[in-house]
């Protein structure tokens, strides 16, 4: 619930698009930002910030407490949130296998059958899920990397911008990033300098 609400709504896509409209379209008159071309460089920031925004909105300790004490019991689940998130952390690391497999498939280095086998072996997908993932890759191509790589890029960039543990400072830096989008190369050079 938290992931979907934060990714799609606040502080995710809804806020990103509202800030783009306010700061870039209305204030600066950059009409090219009034259209969101899904398969464009801005998607790396849009998906990455929507994914990382979950952590901004719900810091780890607060989220874990809320889910263990409220959401998991409401859903009738045994409050095993820590174990669940440890698995999710590992799966996030494995999601980079999707990027490599997608690249190999797009470069015609592997065929559908090989891609499915690799998605099963290295991304721990069932056969049905691997087939669905390949279908997503076929339809969306390089867009598949915007979620994981974008999230890690936004996180690294903001870690460089915010030098203290203040959630207020993180919110300010996060909002500034959404209001003034940067390219991937700008974020990489800022976080590596």
pLDDT by residue (tens digit) across 50-68? 999 999 998 888 888 898 8
Nearest to 150 by CA among 187, 100, 124: 187
Highest mean pLDDT pick, 6-15, 109-118, 180-189: 109-118
Q: What pLDDT, on a 0 to 100 scale, did the predictor assign at position 192? A: 67
Nearest to 66 by CA among 2, 3, 8: 2
Assess contact for 134 and 123: CB atoms under 8 A.
no
Assess contact for 153 and 184: CB atoms under 8 A.
yes
Q: How far apart are CA 137 and CA 106, in angstroms?
A: 9
Residues of the chain above pLDDT 70, percent: 98
Give 105's contacts (C-beta < 8 A, 6+ positions apart): 111, 112, 115, 134, 137, 138
Q: What pLDDT, on a 0 to 100 scale, did the predictor assign at position 86? A: 87
pTM for this entry = 0.85
């Amino acid at each position: 619930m938290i992931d979907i609400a934060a990714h799609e709504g606040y502080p995710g896509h809804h806020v990103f698009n509202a800030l783009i409209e306010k700061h870039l379209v209305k204030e600066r008159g950059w009409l090219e930002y009034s259209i969101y071309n899904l398969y464009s460089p801005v998607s790396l920031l849009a998906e990455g910030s929507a994914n990382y925004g979950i952590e901004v909105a719900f810091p780890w300790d607060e989220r874990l407490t809320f889910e263990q004490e409220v959401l998991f019991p409401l859903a009738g689940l045994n409050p095993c949130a820590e174990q669940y998130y440890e698995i999710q952390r590992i799966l996030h690391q494995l999601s980079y296998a999707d990027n490599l497999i997608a690249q190999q498939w797009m470069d015609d280095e592997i065929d559908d059958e090989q891609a499915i086998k690799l998605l099963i072996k290295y991304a721990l997908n069932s056969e049905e899920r691997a087939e669905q993932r390949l279908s997503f890759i076929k339809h969306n191509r390089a867009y598949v990397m915007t979620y994981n790589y974008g999230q890690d890029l936004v996180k690294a960039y903001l870690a460089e911008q915010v030098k203290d543990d203040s959630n207020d400072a993180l919110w300010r830096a996060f909002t500034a990033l959404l209001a003034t989008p940067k390219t991937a190369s700008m974020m990489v050079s800022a976080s590596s300098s």
